Amino acid sequence: MQHRNIPYTFEDGYYTCKYFNFAPYHIMSFSTELEQDMINQIDEYVDNREVYNIRRKLNTKAASEFYNTLTYKGD
């Protein structure tokens, strides 16, 4: 099955998508019980890619600033 050229499958009563395992998403897979929920989630990721890109950059910046404040004293 596909929606907006994004593949997803139906197995064991759940719809599963394994497509968004790249930047800025880094989501290995996600599942929904209803096909409409799967379609809505795919639309969310595709339509709001820039929002996820901004969030990824903010997360990386915050982690960088946190680790720069640590002082390593050795083992």
75 band by pLDDT with thresholds 50, 70 and 90: low
33 band by pLDDT with thresholds 50, 70 and 90: very high
- Residue 71's pLDDT is what? 78
Mean pLDDT calculated for residue range 15-28:
95
15 band by pLDDT with thresholds 50, 70 and 90: very high
Domain-by-domain residue ranges, the chain?
2-64
Give the residue among 17, 14, 13, 15 at the shortest CA–CA distance from 5.
17
What is the distance between the alpha carbons of residues 52 and 9, in angstroms, rounded to a whole number?
A: 24
Percentage of residues in the chain having pLDDT higher than 90: 84
